[in-house]
Structure 1
């Protein structure tokens, strides 16, 4: 059975390489039969990788511990759920999973867009299949999940205890879907460059792929934060860990891309910018996978150092260099159809928003990679901690929040200062009122917290006002009830009001970040049985925590666990108990 799985991967690699080469030859020589053959080969890649995944899952479920990967990530005591999800619990399986997802997404594109995108499709096949081929090459030659041990162990080592958490079980596949989804718009962008398609056709064709990629990447980051908060004991949900940042950096580039494509669709502007952003997003997606898999930067998330690091760097360099060559060679034909009409316009705000996001991305990228640069130049790894990231990015995030409130209120092309002021007056009053109320009623006195909450109040008011204006207009013009007007308003313009809904979610997240960063109380103290400690928050109140001892036992998946028993009083009244587990 393992041999069949390995052969399936090898055949998938052969077909992916065949599809890559034949699709380009068919397009260049205008031989439709070759292009069709490459398409069929891409379907074959999906089929063989699906077979390989089914086989490795069978080995995990049945406990074939002579297979080295099964031995390393599973054991007899593991529940069925953890055996199935162990596919992405180690490096070899996760690389196979990545390749499998990429092959599925490629096949879906070929099924849906084959008839309408015949000119670009051969090059889309080439880009997606060379990406699949790279990952399949890794599992065939370097990280083979079907490798066999030379003995028959009676049981496996079991999954890393840190990964036995529901958030970590669903975090990798969600994040991988986000990563893989962005390969599709990148492939169409490269195809557009090769075929000299300078319109927004590639953007409109891949809009949903971009949105799906952004959504799943966002969910993956949030799930990773949940896992970190629940398992790692960082005292928070975000520690600026290198691998956390590796998924966050592509998000920081993909987010401005989603905004700037609207300028190309509406005004024919920023064609070069959008091409550059999607190329950079693809490179950062692959580099994020590299940081996780290679172990070049120390992290609780990373796998051990392996030989795949240089291969990843080579692939990134080749793909980026090829993309850059195409981008530069098509520079003139990517010229914008319109210029910026006024600094007071939605285009200006979008552009500033893009620059701020990229600024944050540069800061996070530099801080994440600084240990590598310091080791190369100074011979010593110097790690950049959370204070660097927080102090450098906080002002930039404040500007982002402001722009989120301003952008929807400014029209395209140009707006007068008088009109802008009249539009912003209401949200500005709401922001000031929010800060004043928190200061006078809640007793919040930290300037940073008041500013952060005030900005959130401003942007939330501006966003909700956009819904109110649309609902009121429909109610007045058509006599619809307010709930009906809201339902139809959103239903007729999903993109606009769906974007506003995401903005509201981001604002709520920002409120949580400002509150937790400003008023989180951390302390450490050694307690004997019966001893208590006090934690006091100027906003929430006083907590008294009493330690009652330790107890050991077996977990449902046959792990020896240690629990601490703590009772909690809040402002002098019993509030329950805490039982942290290791």
Structure 2
């Protein structure tokens, strides 16, 4: 199977080349037979890429150390789950995983449009073929996962200990599913530009794909934050690292697209904007992949330096120039059908929302590229750290939060004074009451107070919209509270699923603000010694050392420091942190020792303990952090993903018997997706 997989990779390359050639030829010549051949070749590309992937997984589980990738990222004593995830632990394997997802998506997109969008499908298929061809060429000629070693080592190097974490079994696939998903809307945008079919038809073809990409990116980013928090030992979850930002950038532009798509559907506006956002999302994905895989930046998340980066840079330049040319030659076809009638309207709120999202995107992009550009120009790399990102994106984030609450309250076209008073009264009261209560309780940190004021305002907006909708159903149909709630969401999934996403955003902002009140301390304790500390809530904690222990576990040697913990005299159990030395099957150390933190988790705050080292056999040096509201970061991410799932769920158009007659209940195609309500 290994040999079959190796050969399949090259056959997939040939199939992708055939797909590209005959699809564009068939479209330009009006040859349905060539178009059909291109689509079948794309299915074959997926099939052979799948065989190549199965072959590599076979090599991993058989511990075929003659293959460089297997020897570099596994060992014979590596747990099975991490042997499976080793597929994406290194450069070439992750490229194959990327190609597998890309060809799967491409085959599904082409098959689902086999009877629709036929005029643009040859160019959609051809564009997808080009992207598949690029990734397969990059592997075959630049980073082949089946590359053989000149000699077969008796044992593999093993996997980086930081990747031996349950989060790494889920985070990369989720992130890849989101990042690769940007290729499908991009291909449809190219197809629409080539055929000049730039009405809402192409938007209908890409909306669900854009949502799918946003959904998986959201999950992947939150899982990456969780992994950084529990694995890296720095008591934080977002450091504005260049690789973290590489996934954040396309998330921002996709979110902006999911807002502005509604304006084009409703009013025929922002046609140029939507095409540009779709193209930007894909190009930012390629840029992020270049940054991650070229080795030009140093990051715990990045791959080692390799020639693959040059391939991605070249592809990025060609794709950007080609897209810019197509857009510039189709400006007349991209003219809007209507103009903005008022700066106080739903359309204007969406536009402001998009401008803020793109502003955050460009500020983040500048922070990512500045060290690279400074090194190219001056020869010295000038690093841009969290202070820059926080100073620029912090205020923009608060403005975005405010617009999240404002958008659903304003009418389309032009808002009246009476409408604004009626809609804004209760949300504003909600925000002001939140601010007043926290201020009365002693909170004086202005950034946090503003965050919670805006969070209260947006929460008030969400509650008001649900109350109005549920109340309307109860009056019209006499339904109970639960039944009216479920049917309201079920019949208006795009609108109320978007509100649930908003709720997740509110939770995230509240959690982010909580970290402004974090406290920490360091201590060195012998067995039986204690240290006291107070958290932000005024509770007194006592940590008493239980000593240091050593033992072997799975594929590692462990030195653990344990502490009994009390809060205000009440026992909170034992908290342990470990130093782990991973070894191969021969018992030889494979990597530098890693740290496993101890976390006492609760919705109120996390107690985060790091064993920084053993001073002697009985004395442990530790660092303790009190991190308020971190639990709500993960909960907010779950709520956002749940809301996105509701929005994505197919909206059935069905008839429902209400009060003795049949009422048609259509989907609300003009309602919100991810940001601004209806």
**1:368 is matched with which residue?**
368
Q: Indicate the residue corresponding to 2:173 in structure 1.
A: 173
What SS is found at the alignment partner of 1:579? strand
Q: In the TM superposition, what is the alpha-carbon distance from 1:529 to its structure 2 partner?
A: 4.4
Q: Write the distance in 2 (CA, Å) between the matches of 1:37 and 1:491.
A: 41
User: Of residues 566, 571, 574 in structure 2, which corresponds to 1:574?
Assistant: 571
1:530, CA displacement in angstroms?
A: 4.3
How far apart in 2 are the matches of 1:14 and 1:540?
67
Secondary structure at 1:523 match in 2: strand
Query: Do 2:532 and 2:542's aligned partners in 1 also have CA atoms closer than 8 Å?
Result: yes
TM-score, normalised on structure 2? Answer: 0.84
Corresponding position: 1:542 with 2:543:
no
For residue 552 of structure 1, give the secondary structure of its aligned residue in structure 2: strand
Distance 1:579 1:132 in 2: 47
Please say if 1:61 is aligned against 2:61. yes
- The structure whose residues are more often helix, as a share, is 1
- After TM superposition, the structure 1 stretch with the greater mean CA deviation from structure 2, 329-338 or 234-243, is 234-243
Determine helix, strand or coil for the equivalent of 2:521: coil
CA, structure 1 residues 572+11, in 2 after alignment: closer, same or farther (shift >3 Å)?
same
For structure 1, the residue ranges without an aligned partner over 5 or more in a row are none
Residues 15 and 42 in structure 1, CA contact (< 8 A), matched pair in contact too: yes
TM-score normalised by structure 1 residue count: 0.97
More relative contact order, 1 or 2 (CA 8 Å, 6+ apart): 2
Q: Is the 8 A contact 2:271 2:336 kept in 1?
A: yes
Distance 2:252 2:530 in 1: 44
Contact 2:2 2:58 in 1 (8 A): no
Shift of 1:383: 1.2
Give the conservation status (yes or no) of the 8 Å contact 1:174–1:217. yes
Q: What residue in structure 2 maps to residue 259 of structure 1?
A: 259
Is 2:558 the counterpart of 1:561?
A: yes
Alignment of 1:14-163 (within 5 A): 14-163=14-163
Alignment partner, residue 456 of structure 2: 457
- Give the distance between the partners of 2:101 and 2:392, measured in 1 at CA: 36
1:377 shift after superposition: 2.1
Q: Is the 8 A contact 1:521 1:535 kept in 2?
A: no
Partner Cα separation in structure 1 for residue 16 and residue 348 of structure 2: 43
Is 1:509 the counterpart of 2:508 in the alignment?
yes
Q: Give the conservation status (yes or no) of the 8 Å contact 2:268–2:338.
A: yes
Deviates more, 1:225-234 or 1:547-556: 547-556
What is the CA deviation profile of residues 469-489 of structure 1, one whole-angstrom value per residue up to 9, with x for unaligned ones? 011011112212221111111
CA contact under 8 A between 1:235 and 1:522: conserved in structure 2? no
Q: CA deviation at 1:144?
A: 0.9
Q: Does the aligned pair in 2 maintain the 1:229–1:236 contact within 8 Å?
A: yes
For the residue of structure 2 that corresponds to 1:332, the secondary structure is: coil
CA contact (8 A) 2:3 2:55 kept: no
Tell me which residue corresponds to 2:359.
359
Moved more, 152-161 or 397-406: 152-161
Match of 1:522 in 2: 520
Q: 1:112-137: per-residue Cα shift (whole Å, max 9, x none)?
A: 11111211111111111111111111
Q: Which residue number corresponds to residue 481 of structure 1?
A: 480
Aligned residue number for residue 274 of structure 2: 274
State how far apart, in whole Å, the 1-side matches of 2:385 and 2:197 are. 45
Deviations 1:224-274 (A, max 9, x none): 000000000121111111111110111111111110000001110000000
Q: Distance in 2 between matches of 1:576 and 1:444?
A: 30
- Give the distance between the partners of 1:234 and 1:251, measured in 2 at CA: 25
- The more displaced of 569-578 and 176-185 is 569-578
Query: Is the 1:3–1:146 Cα contact (8 Å) retained in structure 2?
Result: no
CA distance in structure 2 between the aligned counterparts of 1:415 and 1:4, rounded to whole angstroms = 64
Q: Distance in 2 between matches of 1:13 and 1:500?
A: 44
Counterparts of 1:480 and 1:574, CA distance in 2 = 48
SS of the equivalent of 1:333 reads: coil
- Counterpart Cα distance in 2 of 1:85 and 1:400: 37
| Structure 2: 5+ residue stretches without partners | 579-594, 596-678
- Once the 2 structures are TM-superposed, how far is the Cα of residue 45 of structure 1 from its aligned partner? 0.4
C-alpha contact (below 8 Å) 2:518/2:536 kept by paired residues: no
CA distance in 2, matches of 1:432, 1:285: 40
Cα deviation, residue 153, structure 1: 2.0
Contact 2:519/2:536 (8 A) holds in 1: no
Superimposed CA distance per residue, residues 21-62 of structure 1 (whole angstroms, 9 cap, x where no aligned partner): 110011111111111111111011011111001111111111
Deviation sequence 1:153-179 (CA, Å, 0-9, x none):
222111110000011121111000001
Q: Hey, what does 1:408 align to over in structure 2?
A: 408
Once the two structures are overlaid, the 10-residue window that deviates more, 319-328 or 519-528, is 519-528
1:417-443 alpha-carbon deviations (Å, 9 max, x no partner)? 3321221111111111111112224x3
Q: Provide the rounded CA distance (Å) in 2 between the counterparts of 1:135 and 1:555.
A: 39
Q: Render the CA deviation track for 1:390-434: whole Å, top value 9, x for unaligned.
A: 121111111111111110111110101332122111111111111
- Say which SS state the counterpart of residue 337 (structure 1) adopts: coil
Is 2:483 the partner of 1:499? no
**Which residue does the alignment assign to 2:590?**
none
- CA–CA distance in 2 between the matches of 1:95 and 1:301? 15
Take 1:559 and 1:129, find their aligned partners in 2: how far apart are those partners?
A: 44
Task: Name the structure with the higher strand share.
Answer: 2
Q: Once the 2 structures are TM-superposed, how far is the Cα of residue 561 of structure 1 from its aligned partner?
A: 2.6
Q: Give the secondary-structure state (helix, strand or coil) at the position aligned to 2:189.
A: helix
Give me the whole-angstrom Cα distance separating, in 2, the residues matched to 1:203 and 1:361. Answer: 23
Partner of 1:293: 293
Between the two proteins, the alignment pairs up a number of residues equal to 579
